[in-house]
Structure 1
């Protein structure tokens, strides 16, 4: 993971010392060699989210191996390039090839963390930050040595052996994973619009003259169409709706953009000035920026296992602003010692900011979309690099002189100032603090001693001192708790990391599993949602075999088979309220497939306990039919449950019915020993439509959401479910 993740940043920065020699070799100015920078970043800006989604679908191993193979091919093409534009093409290919390693690494970290129970892998994230951030500033020294030894072609040829090393290590050590069964569609139109908008803006920014007025107009038009399309697409290239609903994650992406606009402009602009303005050769200029790399690595090692994201950002922002201001002091006679000091100070933000944003993303992103989110973090990083390359092309049009560097410095001071203001304004980073020392839930007690599970009352997170290992059992994804009243049943929760007893009780969302009972997967799919909306998610487990060796359906029917699953759930809710600060008079209920069966039947009996209801793709439905007995109808609910069903009580309840567009298969036999005829025959689509029509006939306003391009896939419909629930989540 570390070697593969380093391929993109090291290729990004090695080029800094080779731009002047390449320009001389092909007889082109810096404004044209800047396309070697922009070409790679355009490719990565598009490639990172695409590859990130493919990682989520097919697993990290396959994408990692395919990407590193592409890197080797791109390196060979660049080393043999006969002209500048073939060289640009090799950089584009290199950008796509290096897009796989980072999202694959973040996805693998998250899946391994959930598999082993180790939380907050601060040490591994710190190591990744070294390979992905500090290595950026190690690139110029390495590039200088390679150019000095073998010419500019050597910085391309080095990718061939590097890719072979990654292939061997990846094939030997990366775990094989089972690909997701969900359908992944490539939003080709979205990709083209995104790339077209960026390219139009880049052409203009690299030559911003009046006669090119049409380029930003085209860029804005393509961008507007892109936003409109992505907001309405069922399977978008970039899920802008997810970004809009996750303000802390969006703030992290904005910080990434601003910080790397400055850092890449420093790396490329400063290194070119050392050669053109200060008169050093590539090897000398590469060695002169070595203190930047050393400082970045030292800072990352010292702070990598500390979770204080906000402190890292503020110190990094201040150091970045100081470095940009120091550029005004530089002339062709500046002493070498001052150049070394400036490089050393520039390494501080390199070591802090990337690590802080990476830690923030690990905590803020939905676990099920970790690969996509990591890809987007890199996309915003390279959008910053694109802006930096455009700025360099504009200011260095006539060469990397001291005057041109001072002009660039004015822009960088402004961007660094905005970054500092954004860091000060974003208070959410004060709450983002991955555990520095992961606790193994199956290991021996640590810290202040074991969790006192024998206490007379349930222990809450705030009962324990900060840093106590027991907190890890009670926040984030919790352990499975046996229900006190009936230990045959259990439940787990996702509790926001900084859940406190202050203020009003937090909303409670109950997510009910289907027949396969993948309760922890379901719980984890709501993790990011719970953090964003400060709600607690409870996922009950109704085990198979409760009423007999082949019983998988009894919980869906609520009754007759020996236990009342509706009352079991209500007991779980009350038990959760004894430990966490949640609202229990009304809660939000969602179920899919078998869980959808449970959810709508629960609503018939307990509408007064629900704040909203989301019913997904039930295989069988119970209609409000006063002449038909349970489970097909509701004629005898008073006899079965002691409750008379009242359709009027459902009329004010926000209700969502949801199903995939392609969920048209015929379900299995009805879940009842008598196997009576189902009240709504046909496919799940037919049945959910019959349920809605029945409810409308009783004055119940239930919306029906159909998710395009999706079959019977719970994870695929969750964005639409979460959008509905978010609209009704109120403390």
Structure 2
């Protein structure tokens, strides 16, 4: 790998880490934001919802936009958007404006992620596997140390610092990317020849609108009922409206020529569908702990942001250590054993959550974090391997896109679960109830992974091209 390729790799890596870093740092800032803006837990949870909903929509849309306008332009534009959001978010006059800038930040970082890997694949042709593994380190490493960085920053400089810290990364990435990423091919004639309606059809603007409005409306109905401690007729109407819009979205996607989420693929390849369902549950379990435990430690156990960040570091480090071990194990035995062990670890970790109380030792907390951290490392490799086994080679690009959508859906559901269980105040009783629910979900996941093998839908070592998909 020549010097220019190394600098290109660094420039892209400094950009793509912004999305996982900002999605993870916020986990230790929730308690502080709730105190600053005088919100209940349901209200402050929109800081999580907004980021993941915006990311789920922006990444596939910006991926298509890069084919039309050029990857270099989208990457640099994403850095500019991220810079503006990171600069203005700490200056927000109220929580509503903070949500707006959080959405802008999600869009900007998604623009970077959606084209960053493609830039590396296209422009680094020598030792490409090494380059992609370095990119994975940027992504997974940022997610792993995000809570620790967030805890340190909030402890010394308050919550504003978790936005300001992005600025040095953005500036360095922009300066390096401007010099090292080759200019895009001439595409302006293609862009000029495409009408606005054709562009909307290409990105499935109608589907995106139905998905966004339907999901947000459903969340408002459910969370409003939980926040007010009773279900009114208005809450039911809003919730039903959200369900109707989502049902309309499903019908639209089945007919669309360029669907935002190609649902017909799920119907055609049931084995791949089950992998995505399991991936939703995996992320629901992991992120319920990821976002729930810091709030429990700070609001119930009165642990400082700094020490919360240190404790959460054990989660990320266990995940990073487990991933390469999982890779070697899965190469020899296939994904199923690793996924079963992961499900069992998540079950044990969830049971451990139920046993936590005010006098539980730090070691007890770390054991729960370690169980989820190791399971996340196994899942990060195992679920990807299971996807490749269950997806025909000719649709692997579509399958990867659906896989990322499943991840975001699981994350959104985790935030909804925490908000629904906790309501206006985070409590020890609510956290134990969360542990009980996660235990049930984890056991269901283990059963699903076991049953798929028993029914012959996915067998380790089987070539996907000959499997019954």
Structure 2 match to 1:69: 80
SS for the counterpart of 2:17 is helix
Alignment partner of 2:287 out of 264, 269, 278: 264
Structure 2 match to 1:170: 177
The aligned runs of 1:274-293 (5 Å cut-off) are 274-293=297-316
Change (3 A) 1:309 1:14: same
Contact 2:75 / 2:115 at 8 angstroms: preserved in 1?
yes
The aligned runs of 1:159-558 (5 Å cut-off) are 159-174=166-181, 178=185, 185-208=202-225, 209-211=230-232, 212-304=235-327, 306-307=330-331, 308-361=334-387, 373-427=399-453, 430-431=459-460, 498=463
Contact 1:265 / 1:391 at 8 angstroms: preserved in 2?
yes
CA distance in 2 between counterparts of 1:61 and 1:250 reads 34
Alignment partner of 2:163 out of 146, 156, 161: 156
Deviations 1:624-678 (A, max 9, x none): xxxxxxxxxxxxxxxxxxxxxxxxxxxxxxxxxxxxxxxxxxxxxxxxxxxxxxx
Alpha-carbon deviation of 1:299? Answer: 1.0
SS for the counterpart of 1:104 is helix
Deviations 1:491-521 (A, max 9, x none): xxxxxx838xxxxxxxxxxxxxxxxxxxxxx
SS for the counterpart of 2:289 is helix
Alpha-carbon deviation of 1:375? Answer: 4.2
Alpha-carbon deviation of 1:159? Answer: 1.8
| Structure with more of its chain in strand, by fraction | 1
Unpaired runs of at least 5, structure 1: 433-496, 500-529, 535-731
Change (3 A) 1:533 1:174: farther
CA distance in 1 between counterparts of 2:424 and 2:360 reads 21
Alpha-carbon deviation of 1:260? Answer: 1.0
Alignment partner of 2:59 out of 48, 56, 61: 48
CA distance in 1 between counterparts of 2:131 and 2:271 reads 23
User: Number of matched residues?
Assistant: 436
Alpha-carbon deviation of 1:34? Answer: 0.6
Alpha-carbon deviation of 1:342? Answer: 2.1
Deviations 1:434-458 (A, max 9, x none): xxxxxxxxxxxxxxxxxxxxxxxxx
Alpha-carbon deviation of 1:341? Answer: 2.3
Contact 1:126 / 1:304 at 8 angstroms: preserved in 2?
no
| Structure with more of its chain in helix, by fraction | 2
Which structure carries more relative contact order (alpha carbon 8 Å, separation 6+)? 2
The two structures have a TM-score, normalised by structure 1, of 0.55
CA distance in 2 between counterparts of 1:531 and 1:197 reads 39
CA distance in 1 between counterparts of 2:393 and 2:110 reads 20
Change (3 A) 1:60 1:299: farther
The two structures have a TM-score, normalised by structure 2, of 0.83
CA distance in 2 between counterparts of 1:257 and 1:133 reads 18
Unpaired runs of at least 5, structure 2: 1-11
Alpha-carbon deviation of 1:104? Answer: 2.5
Alpha-carbon deviation of 1:87? Answer: 0.7
Alpha-carbon deviation of 1:400? Answer: 2.1
Change (3 A) 1:219 1:64: same
